[in-house]
Each structure stands twice: as C-alpha cells, then as structure tokens.
Amino acid sequence: MGTALPFPESATSRDFQAGLWRLADPKISLASAASMLVGAAAAFHDGPLALGWLALTVLGIFCVEVAKNASGEVVDYDSGTDLAVAPEERSPFSGGKRVMVDGLLSRRETVAIAAAFYGAAILVGLLITFARSADVFWLALAGVLLAYFYHAGPVRLSYRGFGEAAVALAYGPLIAAGTYLVQRGEVTPLPVVASIPLGVLIAAFLWINEFPDARADRDAGKRTLVVRLGRDQAATAFAAIVVAAFALLGVLPAFGVPPAAWLGFIAAPTAVMAVRGLCSDPEDMARVVPAQGLTLLTFVLYAVGVAAGLALG
C-alpha cells in the first residue's frame, strides 16, 4: 500500500483545468468510439441513421469514460498503484492519468468530477430510454456498473484479474449493441458478432498497457493477468489474443456478417508489428511502448475497416 500525498483542498484554477483535461481528453474515448463506429455502421447497414440520437449516444458514453477515469484515479491512488509507478515505467498509454499524483486535482475534486459525469451519463441514458427504447436502460446500466466496478470495491474487477474480460465485453458487444439499439430499437446478431473481435483487440490493448505497470501493480496488490502470468508468459498470451481476434474476423461471414467486413484485415500488419515488438523483449520498455501504440492503431484500423465493410455490404 502506498502512502497518500497531502493535497490542498483545492488546486489552482489552471491546475483544475489541466486535471479535468487529462480526465476528459477526447483521446480517452478512442476505444468506445471504435465500438460505436461498428455499431453505427451495422445500424446503417440495416437502415438510415438518426444522427441526433447518435450524437446523444456519443455524449452519454463519453461521460461514462470521464467518470470511469476519475473514479479509477481515486481507487488507484488510494491503493498506492499510481504512486508506485516509477518515472522510467511511465508511458503515454499506461500509468493512469496521475491527476492526483501530479497535484493537478485534489481527491475531493476528483471524486466530484466522477460523480458529476456519472450523473450526466445516467441522465442521458434515461432520456434515451424513455424516448427510444426501454431496453436501452439495461445496457446502459451494465455499462455504468462495469465502468465503476472496474476499479471500485467491493468488486474491483481490474484488481482481481477480471478487468481484461470486462473490457472485451464492454468495448466490444456492449457498446456496439447499445449504439445499434438506439438507432434500430432492437438488437440483432450483426452488431454483436461484428464487434466481438474488436472487443478482443481492445482487451489486447489493455493487456499490453499492463506491462509497464506490472511491478507497481504487483506491489500494490493489483493482480492483473500480466502480474499473475509474469511478463514473459503474458507476452506469449498477448500474441495468442491478437491471433484469436483475427481468426474470429475470418469466420464472421459464417455468422451473417457481410464478407466486406474482411476490410478489417487492414489492421493485420500493425498487429504483427505489435506482437513482434512486445515478444522480442517484454522487459524492455523501449520496445513495449511502441508496441502499445501499434496495438492502439490496430483496433482503430479494425473498427474503420469493419465499419466500412458493413456500410458497403
């Protein structure tokens, strides 16, 4: 367990804005945006899009992302995880947002941001539920619960080795199906099946992001799968996860997805480079960090390719 650093009751206005930006930088939504893109493309495949409702869906999920980041910061700070990350272990893709560690936000302010954005997300979800489909309520509830309990007790998914599965579910079928549901008023197999490989690739991104944090996570009692396996075995598992994602993409047409979705294979070259980079030396952060970026690019390219295939199909 880490020792909490003292914080003033309130950071300066400039620090608060910088801290809020770290939590709400639009780049935090790349994974959810990828899933929404696939869900929206599946909906477009089956009919016209209601752009206003799509925009509201984006807003609601963005609010969940900010809230998740803020509540996760509090839990990871209190557990000592973020405090234990050494400077040489930090990367642009891992190590948390560090708004409390770097003194940009106080604990009270971080909690308030989490509460405000969870509240906003719930309001958006209720509005869509009453105006579009009652079934939205259950998917939205599942999304909020996964976001909160990813870090928070008593469930603490990421601390108990279930975070990777939760991410695959949330950023694959859950968000894609929810986006489709808002548009079409029902969920068909198309968005669910098409988004499963995407969820696996986004889980792979989380997986590789756990490599720089592995020592700090272990010392703070955060038992991610990378911590449990060790970096060498986890690198082999990462390769297997990526291969599995593209194998699933290969069989999508057997489950009713248009063959044009194979445009998702445009992500294969970056996936191969990511696997090679990580597996060449999973202990060398100079190799791990570029592989992190390549993994992010992989799931983005997959989403773009599959979405284009669904729209064309």
pLDDT profile of the chain (313 residues), mean per 10: 43 78 86 96 96 96 95 90 77 81 92 96 95 92 93 89 93 96 95 97 95 87 91 96 98 96 97 96 91 96 97 87
- 304, 297, 287, 269: which is closest to 27 by C-alpha? 297
Own/partner long-range contacts of 8-14 (Cβ < 8 Å, ≥24 apart): 8/106, 9/106, 9/108, 10/106, 10/108, 10/109, 11/103, 11/104, 11/105, 11/106, 11/109
The residue range of the domain holding 161 is 13-312
pLDDT of residue 221: 86
152 part of a folded domain: yes
Residue 91 DSSP code: B
61 part of a folded domain: yes
6 part of a folded domain: no
pLDDT of residue 13: 65
Contact between 121 and 64 under an 8 Å Cβ cutoff? The reply is: yes
88 part of a folded domain: yes
5 part of a folded domain: no
Query: Domain total for the chain?
Result: 1
Contact between 105 and 74 under an 8 Å Cβ cutoff? The reply is: no
1 part of a folded domain: no
How far, in Å, are 59, 75, 81, 128, 191 from residue 90 at the CA level?
A: 30, 18, 12, 39, 35
195 part of a folded domain: yes
pLDDT of residue 3: 41
β-partners of residue 94 are 91
170 part of a folded domain: yes
Q: Compute the C-alpha angle 66/159/116, nearest 5°.
A: 20
pLDDT of residue 12: 62
pLDDT of residue 2: 40
